[in-house]
Amino acid sequence: MCYDKDGVKVTHWRRSHTVDGASAFRLDWNGLSFVWTGDGKPDQLTAKYAKGVDVFVTELAIDLVNLWALKQGVSPFIGAWTIDNFHTPHYGVGYLANLVQPRLAMATHVSFDRELIGEMMAGVRMHYKGLFAFGIDHTVVNVTKDRIWIREAALPDSTNIVRPDLQWLVHNQFDDHIPSEITFRNTIAENQEQSIRDLEIDPTLFTPKDQVRQYARLSGIQETKLNPADFLGSRRPSGVTLKE
Protein backbone atom coordinates (compact mmCIF):
# COMPACT_ATOMS: atom_id res chain seq x y z
CA MET A 1 0.00 0.00 0.00
CA CYS A 2 1.63 3.24 -1.13
CA TYR A 3 -1.26 5.64 -0.48
CA ASP A 4 -4.18 5.48 1.98
CA LYS A 5 -5.91 8.76 2.72
CA ASP A 6 -9.46 10.16 2.66
CA GLY A 7 -10.91 6.88 1.40
CA VAL A 8 -8.47 6.60 -1.48
CA LYS A 9 -6.16 3.59 -1.51
CA VAL A 10 -3.39 2.93 -4.03
CA THR A 11 -1.62 -0.42 -4.12
CA HIS A 12 1.68 -0.85 -5.96
CA TRP A 13 3.53 -3.95 -7.10
CA ARG A 14 6.57 -4.63 -9.21
CA ARG A 15 6.33 -5.85 -12.79
CA SER A 16 8.70 -7.96 -14.84
CA HIS A 17 9.78 -5.61 -17.62
CA THR A 18 13.15 -4.29 -18.74
CA VAL A 19 14.59 -3.02 -15.46
CA ASP A 20 13.71 -2.81 -11.79
CA GLY A 21 11.18 -0.04 -11.29
CA ALA A 22 8.48 -1.15 -13.73
CA SER A 23 5.27 -0.83 -11.72
CA ALA A 24 1.57 -1.65 -11.63
CA PHE A 25 -1.01 0.21 -9.57
CA ARG A 26 -4.49 -0.43 -8.23
CA LEU A 27 -6.79 2.42 -7.20
CA ASP A 28 -9.68 1.73 -4.79
CA TRP A 29 -12.14 4.54 -4.06
CA ASN A 30 -15.77 4.74 -3.06
CA GLY A 31 -16.39 1.06 -3.72
CA LEU A 32 -14.88 1.18 -7.22
CA SER A 33 -11.47 0.01 -8.41
CA PHE A 34 -9.10 0.39 -11.34
CA VAL A 35 -5.84 -1.37 -12.26
CA TRP A 36 -3.16 -0.16 -14.65
CA THR A 37 -0.36 -2.68 -15.11
CA GLY A 38 1.94 -0.79 -17.46
CA ASP A 39 4.28 -2.94 -19.55
CA GLY A 40 5.50 -6.33 -18.45
CA LYS A 41 5.20 -10.08 -18.65
CA PRO A 42 2.13 -11.89 -17.27
CA ASP A 43 2.89 -12.38 -13.59
CA GLN A 44 1.56 -13.82 -10.35
CA LEU A 45 1.59 -10.49 -8.50
CA THR A 46 -0.80 -8.93 -11.01
CA ALA A 47 -3.13 -11.92 -10.77
CA LYS A 48 -3.11 -11.50 -6.98
CA TYR A 49 -3.45 -7.75 -6.50
CA ALA A 50 -5.78 -7.05 -9.43
CA LYS A 51 -8.23 -9.79 -8.45
CA GLY A 52 -11.88 -8.73 -8.80
CA VAL A 53 -11.11 -5.19 -9.95
CA ASP A 54 -13.78 -3.22 -11.82
CA VAL A 55 -11.57 -2.11 -14.73
CA PHE A 56 -8.37 -4.01 -15.54
CA VAL A 57 -6.05 -2.40 -18.10
CA THR A 58 -2.97 -4.28 -19.26
CA GLU A 59 -0.77 -4.29 -22.33
CA LEU A 60 -1.01 -6.53 -25.40
CA ALA A 61 1.62 -7.52 -27.96
CA ILE A 62 0.32 -9.82 -30.67
CA ASP A 63 2.49 -12.92 -30.92
CA LEU A 64 2.52 -13.39 -34.70
CA VAL A 65 6.12 -12.44 -35.21
CA ASN A 66 6.47 -13.28 -38.91
CA LEU A 67 3.40 -11.27 -39.92
CA TRP A 68 4.28 -8.53 -37.44
CA ALA A 69 7.77 -8.32 -38.91
CA LEU A 70 6.43 -7.94 -42.44
CA LYS A 71 4.07 -5.17 -41.40
CA GLN A 72 6.69 -3.33 -39.30
CA GLY A 73 9.54 -3.83 -41.75
CA VAL A 74 11.88 -5.49 -39.24
CA SER A 75 13.29 -8.97 -38.72
CA PRO A 76 11.14 -11.67 -37.03
CA PHE A 77 13.82 -12.03 -34.36
CA ILE A 78 13.30 -8.44 -33.24
CA GLY A 79 9.58 -9.10 -32.80
CA ALA A 80 10.08 -12.37 -30.93
CA TRP A 81 12.86 -10.96 -28.75
CA THR A 82 10.75 -7.93 -27.81
CA ILE A 83 7.66 -9.95 -26.87
CA ASP A 84 9.48 -12.74 -25.06
CA ASN A 85 11.58 -10.45 -22.88
CA PHE A 86 9.32 -7.50 -22.18
CA HIS A 87 5.64 -7.85 -23.08
CA THR A 88 2.37 -9.77 -22.74
CA PRO A 89 1.22 -11.70 -25.83
CA HIS A 90 -2.47 -11.78 -26.73
CA TYR A 91 -2.88 -15.27 -25.27
CA GLY A 92 -1.34 -14.02 -22.02
CA VAL A 93 -3.80 -11.11 -21.84
CA GLY A 94 -6.73 -13.52 -21.88
CA TYR A 95 -5.11 -15.85 -19.38
CA LEU A 96 -4.31 -13.04 -16.96
CA ALA A 97 -7.77 -11.47 -17.32
CA ASN A 98 -9.35 -14.84 -16.57
CA LEU A 99 -7.35 -15.04 -13.34
CA VAL A 100 -8.29 -11.48 -12.37
CA GLN A 101 -11.99 -11.71 -13.39
CA PRO A 102 -12.63 -7.96 -13.71
CA ARG A 103 -15.92 -6.40 -14.71
CA LEU A 104 -14.08 -5.03 -17.76
CA ALA A 105 -10.72 -6.07 -19.19
CA MET A 106 -8.91 -3.73 -21.56
CA ALA A 107 -5.77 -4.00 -23.68
CA THR A 108 -3.53 -1.03 -24.39
CA HIS A 109 0.03 -0.56 -25.74
CA VAL A 110 -1.25 -2.19 -28.94
CA SER A 111 -1.25 -1.32 -32.62
CA PHE A 112 -4.97 -1.29 -33.42
CA ASP A 113 -4.41 -2.97 -36.77
CA ARG A 114 -7.70 -4.00 -38.34
CA GLU A 115 -6.00 -6.87 -40.12
CA LEU A 116 -4.90 -8.32 -36.78
CA ILE A 117 -7.92 -7.56 -34.57
CA GLY A 118 -9.40 -11.01 -35.29
CA GLU A 119 -6.22 -12.77 -34.23
CA MET A 120 -5.86 -10.62 -31.12
CA MET A 121 -9.45 -11.28 -30.07
CA ALA A 122 -9.15 -15.00 -30.76
CA GLY A 123 -6.07 -15.16 -28.52
CA VAL A 124 -7.80 -13.29 -25.70
CA ARG A 125 -11.00 -15.34 -26.01
CA MET A 126 -9.11 -18.59 -25.66
CA HIS A 127 -9.03 -17.92 -21.92
CA TYR A 128 -11.28 -14.98 -21.09
CA LYS A 129 -15.01 -14.75 -21.85
CA GLY A 130 -15.90 -11.54 -19.98
CA LEU A 131 -16.36 -7.96 -21.15
CA PHE A 132 -13.31 -6.87 -23.16
CA ALA A 133 -12.29 -3.74 -25.07
CA PHE A 134 -9.23 -2.19 -26.69
CA GLY A 135 -7.95 0.85 -24.86
CA ILE A 136 -6.83 2.75 -27.93
CA ASP A 137 -6.40 6.51 -28.20
CA HIS A 138 -9.48 8.59 -27.28
CA THR A 139 -11.27 5.70 -25.52
CA VAL A 140 -13.33 6.81 -22.52
CA VAL A 141 -14.66 4.37 -19.91
CA ASN A 142 -17.48 5.35 -17.57
CA VAL A 143 -17.83 3.23 -14.43
CA THR A 144 -20.54 3.13 -11.80
CA LYS A 145 -21.40 0.43 -9.28
CA ASP A 146 -24.23 -0.72 -11.55
CA ARG A 147 -22.81 -0.49 -15.05
CA ILE A 148 -19.80 0.18 -17.30
CA TRP A 149 -19.93 1.74 -20.74
CA ILE A 150 -17.31 2.73 -23.29
CA ARG A 151 -17.29 5.63 -25.71
CA GLU A 152 -14.95 7.72 -27.84
CA ALA A 153 -13.80 11.12 -26.67
CA ALA A 154 -14.68 14.19 -28.69
CA LEU A 155 -11.46 16.05 -29.42
CA PRO A 156 -10.58 19.05 -31.61
CA ASP A 157 -9.35 18.32 -35.11
CA SER A 158 -5.98 19.85 -34.22
CA THR A 159 -5.16 17.03 -31.78
CA ASN A 160 -2.08 15.16 -32.99
CA ILE A 161 -1.30 11.65 -31.71
CA VAL A 162 1.22 10.67 -34.38
CA ARG A 163 4.31 9.00 -32.94
CA PRO A 164 7.77 9.54 -34.47
CA ASP A 165 9.05 6.76 -36.67
CA LEU A 166 11.90 4.57 -35.44
CA GLN A 167 14.01 5.62 -38.42
CA TRP A 168 14.46 9.11 -36.97
CA LEU A 169 15.79 7.71 -33.72
CA VAL A 170 18.40 5.71 -35.60
CA HIS A 171 19.08 8.56 -38.00
CA ASN A 172 19.73 11.06 -35.20
CA GLN A 173 21.92 8.66 -33.25
CA PHE A 174 24.18 7.65 -36.11
CA ASP A 175 23.97 10.78 -38.29
CA ASP A 176 24.05 9.90 -41.98
CA HIS A 177 25.99 6.66 -41.66
CA ILE A 178 24.48 3.70 -39.85
CA PRO A 179 26.99 1.02 -38.80
CA SER A 180 26.41 -2.42 -40.23
CA GLU A 181 26.62 -3.93 -36.75
CA ILE A 182 26.00 -2.76 -33.19
CA THR A 183 26.62 -4.62 -29.95
CA PHE A 184 24.47 -4.27 -26.87
CA ARG A 185 24.47 -5.99 -23.50
CA ASN A 186 21.59 -7.91 -22.02
CA THR A 187 20.70 -5.28 -19.42
CA ILE A 188 17.83 -7.37 -18.04
CA ALA A 189 20.14 -9.64 -16.10
CA GLU A 190 22.10 -6.65 -14.83
CA ASN A 191 19.21 -4.37 -13.98
CA GLN A 192 16.41 -6.59 -12.74
CA GLU A 193 16.24 -8.89 -9.74
CA GLN A 194 15.75 -12.53 -10.64
CA SER A 195 13.04 -12.80 -7.98
CA ILE A 196 10.78 -10.64 -10.15
CA ARG A 197 11.44 -12.80 -13.19
CA ASP A 198 10.61 -15.86 -11.12
CA LEU A 199 7.07 -14.54 -10.61
CA GLU A 200 6.30 -14.60 -14.34
CA ILE A 201 3.59 -17.00 -15.48
CA ASP A 202 4.92 -19.88 -17.58
CA PRO A 203 4.00 -19.08 -21.24
CA THR A 204 3.20 -22.75 -21.93
CA LEU A 205 0.18 -22.31 -19.63
CA PHE A 206 -1.50 -19.83 -21.97
CA THR A 207 0.03 -20.45 -25.42
CA PRO A 208 -1.70 -23.02 -27.68
CA LYS A 209 0.49 -26.04 -28.25
CA ASP A 210 0.48 -25.53 -32.02
CA GLN A 211 1.62 -21.91 -31.55
CA VAL A 212 4.57 -22.53 -29.26
CA ARG A 213 7.78 -21.38 -30.96
CA GLN A 214 11.39 -21.14 -29.95
CA TYR A 215 11.58 -18.74 -27.01
CA ALA A 216 13.77 -15.72 -27.84
CA ARG A 217 14.74 -15.09 -24.25
CA LEU A 218 18.18 -13.90 -23.23
CA SER A 219 19.67 -15.65 -20.22
CA GLY A 220 22.44 -14.24 -18.05
CA ILE A 221 24.61 -11.27 -18.90
CA GLN A 222 25.65 -11.52 -22.52
CA GLU A 223 26.29 -9.42 -25.59
CA THR A 224 24.15 -9.52 -28.70
CA LYS A 225 25.12 -8.25 -32.14
CA LEU A 226 22.46 -6.79 -34.43
CA ASN A 227 22.36 -5.09 -37.79
CA PRO A 228 20.54 -1.73 -37.42
CA ALA A 229 19.08 -2.28 -40.88
CA ASP A 230 16.97 -5.06 -39.33
CA PHE A 231 15.20 -2.40 -37.28
CA LEU A 232 14.47 -0.25 -40.29
CA GLY A 233 13.80 -2.65 -43.14
CA SER A 234 12.25 -0.70 -46.00
CA ARG A 235 11.90 2.44 -43.83
CA ARG A 236 15.52 3.53 -44.04
CA PRO A 237 15.65 7.32 -44.45
CA SER A 238 16.69 8.63 -47.82
CA GLY A 239 20.33 9.60 -48.00
CA VAL A 240 21.35 7.31 -45.12
CA THR A 241 23.91 4.64 -45.90
CA LEU A 242 25.36 1.70 -44.00
CA LYS A 243 28.99 1.73 -42.93
CA GLU A 244 30.95 -1.40 -43.75
Do 143 and 32 contact (CB within 8 A), yes or no?
A: yes
Q: What are phi and psi of 175, to 5 degrees?
A: 60, -135
| pLDDT at residue 144 in the model | 97
Query: Do residues 3 and 10 lie in contact, with contact meaning Cβ atoms separated by under 8 Å?
Result: yes
3-class secondary structure, 61 = strand
What CATH number should be reported for the domain holding residue 32? 3.60.15.10
- DSSP code at position 162: P
Q: Is residue 193 part of a domain?
A: no
pLDDT in the model for residue 174? 54
* Structural domain of 21: 3-152
**If we measure between CA atoms, which residue out of 119, 121, 125, 155 comes closest to residue 137?**
155
Residue 16 CA: distances (Å) to CA of 151, 189, 194:
31, 12, 9
Is 231 inside any structural domain?
no
Residue 118 lies in a domain: yes
Residue 15 domain-assigned?
yes
How confident is the model at residue 25, as a pLDDT?
A: 98
* 135 located within any domain: yes
Q: What is the pLDDT along the chain (244 residues), one digit of tens a residue?
A: 999 999 999 999 999 998 888 999 999 999 999 999 999 999 999 999 999 999 999 999 988 888 877 777 777 887 888 888 899 999 999 999 999 999 999 999 987 788 889 999 999 999 999 999 999 888 999 999 999 999 998 887 766 656 555 555 555 555 556 677 777 776 677 788 889 999 999 999 999 999 888 888 766 666 777 776 666 555 554 554 545 4
As for how many domains the chain has, the answer is 1
In sequence order, which residues have a C-beta less than 8 Å from that of residue 188 and are 6 or more positions away?
18, 19, 85, 197, 218
Name the burial class of residue 222, with classes exposed (0-12), middle (13-18) and buried (19+) by CB atoms within 10 angstroms of its CB: exposed
**Angle, CA of 31, 124 and 25, to the nearest 5°:** 35
| pLDDT for 151 | 93
Q: Is residue 136 part of a domain?
A: yes
Asked, for residue 242, whether it belongs to a domain, the answer is no
